[in-house]
Amino acid sequence: MATLELRGLKKYYGNTHAVDGIDAAIAEGEFLAILGPSGCGKSTTMRMIAGLEAPSAGEVLIGGKSVTHLPPRARNVSMVFQSYALYPHMSVLENIAFPLKARGVPRTERDAKIKWASAMLGIEPLLQRKPGRLSGGEKQKVALARSLVRDPALFIFDEPLSSLDAQVRTMARSELRLLHDRTGVTTVYVTHDQIEALGMGDRIAIMQHGRVRQLGTPQQLYDQPADTFVAGFLGSPPMNLLQRGGRIIGIRPEHLLPAPPGTTDDQSFELQVRIKRLEFLGTDWLIYGLLETGAQGQKVLSKVSPGIAATLQEGALQTFRVERMCLRFFDPATGSRVDDGPR
Amino acid sequence: MARADTEVRVSLGDREGLLGTLMLAPAFLYIAALVGIPFFLAIALSLSSATIGDPHIHGFVGLANFAHAMHESAFPIALRNSIIVTCATLILTLVLATAESELLVRDFRGKWLWQILLILPWAMPVSLAAVDWLWLLDSEFSPLDWLLRQAHLLGPGTPWGPANHLYYYGREWLGLGAITMINVWRLLPLATIIVLAGRTAIPREIFEQAQVDGAGFFRVLFRITIPALLPLLVVAGMFTALLVFGDMTVVALTTRGGPGYATQLLPYWAYLKGIEGGALSEGAAVALFMFPVLLAGAVLALRMAYRADSN
């Protein structure tokens, strides 16, 4: 267990700035999710932390000590790859034993560790099998056990759930987080899936174009997005970003609700919306609309409960309202969030 | 609009059974004519009393040719030499092919030059290669001898002296060593390409995982790379072994089996007996001697490769 610190971390490939200056401090035992679209530099950042990629500039500190120039094996970092990278010719047992053998852990201690890790993940019945005969979920557990056995200073996960079936993924998510809570190992979790980042991370670093756009708790990122990128990336569907009066107004779809006539007051903000389409999503309905006030013709999304959706009609003109305290304001030139504006 | 009942002409290309037979036919005929018939002819010859002077296959003599060959003094030497040269070539080739594939799988400056150098022995005409090696290991003008003399290892008053030459092709172990070296030189490209194909197919993440897991270079090599390469090492090894064991060109161009029978190999001895010596049936018997062993070896190796691969 240890802290992790990144100082001015950069990686250039020729003229491409894959990672363009990252500063972050991760506390001991913290679960940090790095979230971003593909090509944002999150994988490169992770690989530099693991030592698989040498930074062009900057430093990586684990437990307060610089490991920038150390090879991966000298960093005591554990990693679970997206593909799980199990050694195909070794049994599950040999796979789990590999990092221990590489470190010269004595046999009795090794056996005890393997027993502990395989019991924790419930894979004892699989120990004699070869990876080729495991399901995706089983492979993931074996990879976790292998990364767990040697008391790493740091866990690095590279999209470990993305090759699982959708049904298994939700369970795996909570199991992974519970495992973290039980072992307390500092964790860096790279993903492009915001549900994983929001659901698992103590804090999230959102990356774009090789930079961290915002680093904070999931609630901070969701409620107080630092800029239009974060606002437009988080949330499903993401925040409505409407041009209005030299500013960009951000409205979460679940805050934009149809208002019965005469119910508005000065605490709320009104919009006239032409409803184009109603979409059933199970627990919610999604309303696709076009703005008829202010910046006309802009698309807006609203998420409502089935009870409310039943009162709406496609093609109708409808008043929507938002609590003023739910509005977020952004500078159109920089994209940064400005003061929460007039209430 | 095409009508639903538009007739589509069914051509030969749609009849997979017939097409397959037609396309396989040339290969089948080729193998039958140039491998199958000579092979059975050789078996027939080895069981007969045929000679160059009277090549007709009559007079069935059973295994007499085999028994006779086995009792000749050259036989155990040739057999031993064949095994030594094959095993030595096999080991050296596999070690070097693994090392070379480790090198070539990485990116480095001037890699293209290495790739060309690697492939060169393969692309070289046999006659040119023979001239090269005859000169390189010549009894009078060998540049290797010259280098050794410059290093004061050869010549009067040196560890390998007092002679000024090593006479590579004139001594038993140097001769066998030279034959082995030439075989390695000539077969390494093929083996490397086979092994390299396997090496590039191993996902990079496996190696990165091993690095993160704390393995150093040699642990990765022996615990990850080589086990993963095993099926292809078996294939490369089998090719190498079969090509060396059945080859007579290298020995024919260098030591000619001498001095005496000291560097004689089975295939060249078979050639000398059967063609040069005129004892066609005995030559065939010697050539066929190792066939069951080679066949068993090949079957075993292929099964092993298949098993390792399916795991």
The three-state DSSP-derived secondary structure of chain B is CCCCCCCCCCCHHHCHHHHHHHHHHHHHHHHHHHHHHHHHHHHHHHCECCCCCCCCCCCECCCHHHHHHHCCCHHHHHHHHHHHHHHHHHHHHHHHHHHHHHHHCCCCCCHHHHHHHHHHHHHCCHHHHHHHHHHHCCCCCCHHHHHHHHCCCCCCCCCCCCCCCCCHHHCHHHHHHHHHHHHHHHHHHHHHHHHHHHHHHCCHHHHHHHHHCCCCHHHHHHHHHHHHHHHHHHHHHHHHHHHHHCCCHHHHHCCCCCCCCCCCCHHHHHHHHHHHCCCHHHHHHHHHCCHHHHHHHHHHHHHHHHHHHHC
Partner residue opposite B211 with nearest CB, options A72, A132, A150? A72
**pLDDT given at position B309:** 62
Domain boundary among A188, A223, A258: A223
Look-up of token digits 């390792």: B308
Going B102 to B235 to B204 to A100, the CA torsion angle's sign is negative
Taking the CA of residue A77 and the nearest CA in chain B, the distance in Å comes to 7
Is residue B43 one of the residues assigned to a domain? no
A73 touches chain B (CB under 8 A): yes
**pLDDT given at position B109:** 86
Is residue B242 one of the residues assigned to a domain? yes
- Model confidence band, residue A342 (pLDDT cutoffs 50, 70, 90): very low
Taking the CA of residue B227 and the nearest CA in chain A, the distance in Å comes to 7
A152 touches chain B (CB under 8 A): no
A104 touches chain B (CB under 8 A): no
CA distance A78 to A115: 18
A12 touches chain B (CB under 8 A): no
Whether residues A185 and A287 fall in one domain: no
Mean pLDDT across the stretch A208-216? 92
Chain B interface mutation, best of A73, A101, A134, highest count of B Cβ atoms under 10 Å = A73
Whether residues A279 and A131 fall in one domain: no
**pLDDT given at position A212:** 92
Tokens standing for residue B72: 């000749």
Mean pLDDT across the stretch A99-123? 89
Inter-chain residue contact B212 with A78, CB threshold 8 Å: yes
Query: Minimal Cα distance from A98: which residue of B?
Result: B213
Decide if pLDDT at A340 tops 60.
no
How would you list the strands of the sheet with A65-66, edge to edge?
Answer: A16-26, A4-13, A57-62, A65-66
Decide if pLDDT at A218 tops 90.
yes
A64 touches chain B (CB under 8 A): no
* B205 vs A contacts (CB less than 8 Å): 81-83, 85
**pLDDT given at position B5:** 62
A103 touches chain B (CB under 8 A): yes
A85 touches chain B (CB under 8 A): yes
User: What pairing do the DSSP bridges indicate for beta strands A187-191 and A154-158?
Assistant: parallel
Inter-chain residue contact B214 with A73, CB threshold 8 Å: yes
Whether residues A257 and A175 fall in one domain: no
Inter-chain residue contact B224 with A71, CB threshold 8 Å: no
Half-sphere exposure of B262 (CA within 13 A, CB side): 15
| φ/ψ of residue A326, rounded to 5 | -90, -5
Is residue B158 one of the residues assigned to a domain? yes
- Largest Cα separation within chain B, whole Å, is 98
What is the model's pTM? Answer: 0.77
Instruction: Identify the residue with better confidence: B52 or A221.
Output: A221
The number of angstroms, rounded, from the C-alpha of B140 to the middle of its chain's C-alpha atoms is 29
Chain A interface mutation, best of B213, B233, B309, highest count of A Cβ atoms under 10 Å = B213
* B224 vs A contacts (CB less than 8 Å): 87
Inter-chain residue contact A85 with B205, CB threshold 8 Å: yes
% of residues, chain A, pLDDT over 90: 43
> In B, what residues contact A, Cβ < 8 A?
203, 205-206, 208-216, 219, 223-224, 227-228, 230, 308, 311
Taking the CA of residue B297 and the nearest CA in chain A, the distance in Å comes to 23
Decide if pLDDT at A262 tops 70.
no
To the nearest whole number, what is the mean pLDDT of chain A?
88
Is residue A217 one of the residues assigned to a domain? yes
Whether residues A38 and A175 fall in one domain: yes
Tokens standing for residue B17: 């059974």
- Sequence-distant (6+) residues with CB within 8 A of A283 are A305, A306
Whether residues A170 and A134 fall in one domain: yes
Is residue B122 one of the residues assigned to a domain? yes
pLDDT in tens, A51-107: 999 999 999 999 989 999 999 988 889 999 988 999 988 999 999 999 999 888 999
Partner residue opposite A102 with nearest CB, options B203, B219, B308? B219
Task: Render each residue's pLDDT in chain B as its tens digit; 311 residues.
Answer: 445 566 777 777 778 888 888 899 999 999 999 888 888 888 888 888 777 777 777 777 777 777 777 787 888 888 888 889 999 999 999 999 999 898 888 888 888 888 888 888 888 887 788 788 888 877 777 787 788 777 777 777 777 767 777 777 767 788 888 888 888 988 888 889 889 988 988 888 999 999 999 888 899 999 999 988 888 888 888 888 888 888 888 888 877 777 777 788 888 888 887 777 777 787 788 878 778 877 887 888 778 777 766 65
Is residue A22 one of the residues assigned to a domain? yes
Q: What is the ipTM of this complex?
A: 0.81
Q: Which residue type is seen at B297?
A: G
Look-up of token digits 């009942």: B5
Whether residues A190 and A266 fall in one domain: no
Whether residues A100 and A38 fall in one domain: yes
Tokens standing for residue B75: 């036989």
Q: What is the CATH number of the domain that holds B201?
A: 1.10.3720.10
Q: Which residue type is seen at B119?
A: I
* B225 vs A contacts (CB less than 8 Å): none
A110 touches chain B (CB under 8 A): no
**pLDDT given at position B206:** 92
* B210 vs A contacts (CB less than 8 Å): 87, 98, 102
Query: Minimal Cα distance from B205: which residue of A?
Result: A85
Q: How far is CA B206 from CA A46, A50, A343, B211, B300, in A?
A: 17, 14, 56, 9, 29
Is residue B167 one of the residues assigned to a domain? yes
Peptide bond into A237 cis (omega under 30): yes
- State the total domains in chain A: 2
- State the total domains in chain B: 1
Inter-chain residue contact A102 with B203, CB threshold 8 Å: no
Neighbours of B87 (CB within 10 A): 14
Partners of A271 in beta bridges: A320
CA distance A331 to A325: 18
Q: How many residues does chain A have?
A: 343
Closest by Cα among A96, A98, A54, A92 to A75: A54
Q: What is the CATH number of the domain that holds A304?
A: 2.40.50.140
Partner residue opposite B212 with nearest CB, options A50, A83, A132? A50
CA distance A90 to B227: 9
Inter-chain residue contact A85 with B308, CB threshold 8 Å: no
Chain B interface mutation, best of A89, A133, A159, highest count of B Cβ atoms under 10 Å = A89
Range of the domain at B83: 67-310
**pLDDT given at position B167:** 73
Q: Which residue type is seen at B13?
A: G
Q: What is the CATH number of the domain that holds A80?
A: 3.40.50.300
**pLDDT given at position A263:** 65
- Sequence-distant (6+) residues with CB within 8 A of B282 are B65, B68, B69, B273, B274
Inter-chain residue contact B219 with A71, CB threshold 8 Å: no
Is residue B140 one of the residues assigned to a domain? yes
Q: Which residue type is seen at B291?
A: F
User: What pairing do the DSSP bridges indicate for beta strands A31-35 and A203-208?
Assistant: parallel
Is residue A106 one of the residues assigned to a domain? yes
- Sequence-distant (6+) residues with CB within 8 A of B4 are none
| φ/ψ of residue A329, rounded to 5 | -120, 140
- Sequence-distant (6+) residues with CB within 8 A of B33 are none
Decide if pLDDT at A341 tops 60.
no
Whether residues A257 and A134 fall in one domain: no
**pLDDT given at position A87:** 92
Q: How far is CA B157 from CA A129, B134, B143, B151, B152, in A?
A: 64, 27, 20, 12, 9
Range of the domain at A286: 248-337
Mean pLDDT across the stretch A212-222? 93
Q: Which helix or strand (DSSP H or E) is residue A111 part of? A: helix A107-121
* A87 vs B contacts (CB less than 8 Å): 206, 209-210, 224, 228
Is residue B48 one of the residues assigned to a domain? no
Inter-chain residue contact B308 with A89, CB threshold 8 Å: yes
Inter-chain residue contact B216 with A146, CB threshold 8 Å: no
Contact A229, A283 (CB under 8 A): no
CA distance B229 to A156: 28
Phi-psi region at B76: left, alpha or beta (left = phi > 0; alpha = psi -120 to 50): alpha
Partner residue opposite A83 with nearest CB, options B205, B308, B311? B205
Going A251 to A254 to A260 to A263, the CA torsion angle's sign is negative
CA distance B10 to A197: 57
**pLDDT given at position A343:** 39
Is residue A47 one of the residues assigned to a domain? yes
Whether residues A120 and A203 fall in one domain: yes
Whether residues A42 and A179 fall in one domain: yes
Is residue B114 one of the residues assigned to a domain? yes
Partner residue opposite B211 with nearest CB, options A52, A88, A146? A52
Going A214 to A215 to A218 to A219, the CA torsion angle's sign is negative
CA distance A303 to B66: 91
A72 touches chain B (CB under 8 A): yes
% of residues, chain A, pLDDT over 70: 97
Inter-chain residue contact B311 with A88, CB threshold 8 Å: yes
Q: Taking CA A108 as the corner, what is the angle to CA A105 and CA A111, rounded to the nearest 5 degrees?
A: 85
Is residue A343 one of the residues assigned to a domain? no
Inter-chain residue contact A89 with B216, CB threshold 8 Å: no
**pLDDT given at position A97:** 93
Partner residue opposite A73 with nearest CB, options B203, B206, B215? B215
